[in-house]
Amino acid sequence: MSDTLPRWLDAEAVALRVSIRPDYVARYVRAGKLPKPRHPFGARQPRWDVQELDAFMGGRPTSQPHNAAVQALADEIARKARRQENRQENSR
C-alpha cells in the first residue's frame, strides 16, 4: 500500500488532514480558514485538491499521513488487547 494521498479529498479526509471534526469543515470554509472545495466529479461531490489545501495551510501537511494514523490506532488496539489478556490470565 502506498503512503501517498489521493489528489482529491472529501470533507472527511480534509478533516483528518487538518485535525478537525468533519462537521467543522464547512464552517471553516465559510470563515475562510480552509479553501473552497472544487467539484471535479459533479456539483454534489465537493472535493479539495490536496496540493491547494497544503499550500493554503502553509505548504505542509498538518496531520499524520493516513497510514501512520491507522497504524497508531492499530497499535493502541493491540496494546489494549494484550492488557486485557494479561488481566484474564492473572485472575485465573
| pTM as predicted | 0.57
Phi, psi angle pair for 78, to nearest 5°: -65, -40
Question: When comparing pLDDT for 1 and 65, which is higher?
Answer: 65
CA 79 to each of CA 65, 72, 75, 83, 88: distance values in angstroms, whole numbers, following the listed order: 21, 11, 6, 6, 14
Residue of 66, 64, 38 whose CA lies nearest to 51? 38
pLDDT higher than 80, residue 15: yes
Instruction: Enumerate helices (H) and strands (E) in the chain, giving the number of each.
Output: 4, 2
Mean pLDDT value of segment 7-34: 92
**Given pLDDT bands bounded at 50, 70 and 90, which one contains residue 21?**
very high
